[in-house]
Amino acid sequence: MLPARSKKRKDLRDVFPNMETSSSLLCDSFSPSEDLYPLQSIDSSNRERDESFSSISTPSISHLDTDETIVKKEVTFVMADSISTTNIIDPEKVVDHTINRTTNDLPRVTPSRSSLGVRKWKLHKGNNRFFCNGRIMVASQSGVFLLTLFLLISTLSLYFVFDAPYLWVNVSPALPIVEALLALFMFGNLFMTTFSDPGILPRAMNDETAEEERKYYERMASETIDSENPNPNRQTVARTIQVTVNGVGMRLKRCQTCQLYRPPRSSHCSICNNCILNFDHHCPWVGNCVGLRNYRYFYFFLLSLCALIISTFGGSLTHIFILSRSMGVLADALRASPLSIVVAVICFFTFFSIICLSSFHSYLVAKNLTTNEDIKGTFSSKRHPPIKNPYSLGFISNCLSRLCSPQTPSLIDRRGFSSGMDEVVVSSRNRSDPSTVSTTGTHSSTFSSVRYTDRV
């Protein structure tokens, strides 16, 4: 009775009945570079098993048919994950039909939400509130924003209910249409300012803070310290580092809350409890900080609100004026449309504050300043010595930079899953080791492409 391996060899003889095969053709590891005429077994165990097949001899060329169809016959060796085809006449010519398994061939396993961990917005340490599973974020104090929303919606509702239909019929349909477009543009910019990330800097993680302190203690161990007169004011890490921005020296402060060195023009908002890139101010009327990522929306909100107030005020006065001409008496016109005068009064008292605020921010855009820098006088000419603004590139360049530059991506992954760490890692450039002396580098576009030099 033949061994188990002889069944495979018998199948091979059935495929090629007019030839004889060597048992070594069926070795588990086949090398096409070996001589097939004659073939020898590769180990002693195979040699012992091959004794029962001594009658099987190696085929010769003369035993094969000369027909081209016979010459082109090929033997297929099936291995674990590959299929190789060998020409009988020329064994050096091996056609590889290896099956490359990719990840697409493997069954896909969708991890459950419980295995992924919690969303990162749930671990956010700032005073922000999140809605729609982290898609929308607002500041903790949103009462004034709700008041703003109420005043805008109520005033516009009165206009479109009492003034717009009369103007559509008696003046022109263009006036209500322009008013509606301005209102949509204004609300869009308001919501983008309120519900978008203003440029929050993620806080340093615990291991990064511990690493900075470890480096500090290593430096202290290498220094000679007078044990009798120790310095009680010595800090674990440097509070500030000196940098150079376009030839102007600036000092980066270390935020004790976020445990990082704030990039230039950044500041910590005490209301939101976050460090904000290009911090302008915290506006309670929009219910959010105004910073690098939402300043353009805030500015366009102010401009569109000014245009909307002018349009609404003009439409209400036009309605009253036409009614007074048709009735002959102004008092009769006011009694006929009393809510038109209410809309006009609201627009009159809010116009001056909004136009002044819009003019102020237009000045800041032209000078490439922030409200925080203007209040503190960071680049004021009255300082001694005066400090030049390293970010000012001219009127046109400043406007394009503040309003038309590509949107900076958010640094906080609100909808990502936590992997057990505290927060998302910020670029190490933001928390560079203060022990580095004369280390030159270039900020990313987030930091207005400034070239800096770190010193202790």
- Alpha helices (H) along 61-200: 68-71, 113-116, 143-158, 164-170, 174-195
Closest listed residue to residue 120, CA positions, set 416, 451, 453: 416
Query: Is 275 an annotated catalytic residue?
Result: no
In total, the chain counts a number of residues equal to: 456
Which of 169-173, 326-330, 376-380 has the largest mean confidence?
A: 169-173
Domain that holds residue 69: 5-96
CA distance 212 to 206: 10
Residues 247, 322 within the same domain: yes
Specify if 102 maps to a domain.
Answer: no
Closest listed residue to residue 452, CA positions, set 420, 429, 423: 429
Q: What was the pLDDT predicted at 381? A: 75
> Which residue has tokens 């102004």?
330
Q: What was the pLDDT predicted at 423? A: 41
Residues 131, 252 within the same domain: yes
**Domain limit, last residue, from 38, 64, 96:** 96
CA-to-CA separations, 91 to 84, 171, 201, 216, in angstroms, rounded = 11, 94, 66, 68
Which of 96-100, 208-212, 409-413 has the largest mean confidence?
A: 409-413
Residues 346, 432 within the same domain: yes
Specify if 44 maps to a domain.
Answer: yes
List residues bridging with 439 in a β-sheet: 454
Work out how many domains the chain is built from and give that number: 2
If pLDDT is split at 50, 70 and 90, which confidence band does 417 have? low
DSSP state of 58: -
Residues 68, 141 within the same domain: no
Q: What was the pLDDT predicted at 54? A: 45
CA distance 298 to 286: 8
If pLDDT is split at 50, 70 and 90, which confidence band does 247 have? confident
Residues 91, 196 within the same domain: no
If pLDDT is split at 50, 70 and 90, which confidence band does 345 have? very high
Ranking 14-23, 141-150, 244-253 by mean pLDDT, the lowest is 14-23
Specify if 101 maps to a domain.
Answer: no
If pLDDT is split at 50, 70 and 90, which confidence band does 414 have? low
Specify if 417 maps to a domain.
Answer: yes
Angle between helices 174-195 and 143-158 (to 10 degrees): 170
CB 298 within 8 A of CB 281: no
Residues 90, 136 within the same domain: no
Task: Please say if the pLDDT value at position 63 is more than 50.
Answer: no
Closest listed residue to residue 312, CA positions, set 282, 288, 269, 342: 342
Specify if 106 maps to a domain.
Answer: no
Residues 84, 152 within the same domain: no
pLDDT in tens, 152-179: 999 999 999 999 999 999 999 999 999 9
pLDDT over 70 percentage in the chain = 55
Residues 315, 408 within the same domain: yes
Task: Please say if the pLDDT value at position 97 is more than 80.
Answer: no
Residues 69, 166 within the same domain: no
CB 302 within 8 A of CB 355: no
Q: What was the pLDDT predicted at 327? A: 84
Residue 137 in tokens: 């974020």
48-86 b/e (C-beta count within 10 Å ≥ 16 → b): ebbeebeeeebbeeeebeeeeeeeebebebeeeeeebeb
Q: What was the pLDDT predicted at 441? A: 34
Specify if 439 maps to a domain.
Answer: yes
Residues 170, 81 within the same domain: no
Average pLDDT, the chain: 71
Q: SS3 for 241?
A: strand
CB 279 within 8 A of CB 378: no
Specify if 56 maps to a domain.
Answer: yes
If pLDDT is split at 50, 70 and 90, which confidence band does 213 have? low
Which of 59-63, 132-136, 219-223, 261-265 has the largest mean confidence?
A: 261-265
Closest listed residue to residue 210, CA positions, set 441, 439, 422, 427: 422
CA dihedral sign of residues 177, 179, 184, 189: positive
Task: Please say if the pLDDT value at position 183 is more than 80.
Answer: yes
If pLDDT is split at 50, 70 and 90, which confidence band does 257 have? confident
Residues 85, 186 within the same domain: no
Ranking 5-9, 190-194, 250-254, 413-417 by mean pLDDT, the lowest is 5-9
Q: What was the pLDDT predicted at 113? A: 53
Q: What was the pLDDT predicted at 207? A: 56
Specify if 110 maps to a domain.
Answer: no
Residues 81, 19 within the same domain: yes
Q: Catalytic: which of 255, 258, 272, 283?
A: 283
CB 283 within 8 A of CB 291: no
**Domain limit, last residue, from 64, 96, 128:** 96
429-440 b/e (C-beta count within 10 Å ≥ 16 → b): bbbbbbbeeeee
